[in-house]
Chains A and B, each alone.
Chain A
């Protein structure tokens, strides 16, 4: 079955380190998204991509970057991890612009110490 997977599921890192969270989908979806979930804020959009080599900033993009070299993957990189980036990160993908539902990965819990 097609799916969307995130790795790792849990990570602890130190302040200042570079961290990359992986997101891989096998639906051949054009659109991929990264969100962070924080208490009181729900899901906030970090970056998104509407196709290969396309990337766009979301609401809370500072300190994060993404690249889309193929359809299946959208890795999220924290250039220099900060304690404020401790959060649960969700990746999602969808086929159409918005007329089809998004499918979510299982989430990655990142702790920056």
Chain B
């Protein structure tokens, strides 16, 4: 069983704060790393697909970096807003598609 871990498990921040989460994964048999945003009562939606060591992706206030050699990826949210409240999942793609347990973010107004 592949070990894909995320930290922290949950996070509460004030509106306007910047925050970041970590996803750690096996450094062998790496093919891709995905980040998904999952709102309550909805389905996960993709934020980023990252395949190369050193990849940096950005979408609005959210960005992500990838280090395949050491097996970690960071997701950053700048100036958090209440609508950013969701669970953020990373997925390690090697032989198959394995998700981490997620980081639950709550942004307080």
In the bound complex, do residue A106 and residue B31 qualify as a contact, i.e. CB atoms below 8 Å apart? no
Q: Of A41, A56, A101, which one neighbours B49 at CB under 8 angstroms?
A: A101
Q: Which residues of the partner chain A approach B1 to less than 8 Å between Cβ atoms?
A: 59
Q: How far apart are B12's CB and chain A's nearest CB, in angstroms?
A: 19
In the bound complex, do residue B43 and residue A107 qualify as a contact, i.e. CB atoms below 8 Å apart? yes
In the bound complex, do residue B46 and residue A101 qualify as a contact, i.e. CB atoms below 8 Å apart? yes
In the bound complex, do residue B96 and residue A102 qualify as a contact, i.e. CB atoms below 8 Å apart? no
In the bound complex, do residue A35 and residue B99 qualify as a contact, i.e. CB atoms below 8 Å apart? yes
In the assembled complex, the Cα of A102 lies from the Cα of B46 at a distance in Å of: 7
In the assembled complex, the Cα of A9 lies from the Cα of B37 at a distance in Å of: 21
Bitwise interface map of A from 73 to 108 toward B, beta carbon under 8 Å scored 1, else 0: 000000000000000001010100111111111110
In the assembled complex, the Cα of A42 lies from the Cα of B19 at a distance in Å of: 21
Restricting to B26-51, which residues have a CB under 8 Å from any CB of A? 31-32, 34, 36, 43-46, 49, 51
In the bound complex, do residue B97 and residue A104 qualify as a contact, i.e. CB atoms below 8 Å apart? no
Q: Is B89 an interface residue (CB 8 A)?
A: yes
Q: How far apart are A33's CB and chain B's nearest CB, in angstroms?
A: 6
Q: Which residues of the partner chain A approach B89 to less than 8 Å between Cβ atoms?
A: 42-43
In the assembled complex, the Cα of A100 lies from the Cα of B91 at a distance in Å of: 12
Closest partner residue, chain B, to A50 (CB atom): B96
Q: Which residues of the partner chain B approach A33 to less than 8 Å between Cβ atoms?
A: 96-97
Restricting to A17-41, which residues have a CB under 8 Å from any CB of B? 31, 33, 35, 40-41
Q: Which residues of the partner chain B approach A103 to less than 8 Å between Cβ atoms?
A: 46
Restricting to B82-105, which residues have a CB under 8 Å from any CB of A? 89, 91, 93, 96-102
In the bound complex, do residue A45 and residue B98 qualify as a contact, i.e. CB atoms below 8 Å apart? yes
In the bound complex, do residue A99 and residue B98 qualify as a contact, i.e. CB atoms below 8 Å apart? no
Answer whether A98 and B93 are a contact pair too, CB < 8 Å, given A42-B102, A45-B98, A59-B1. yes
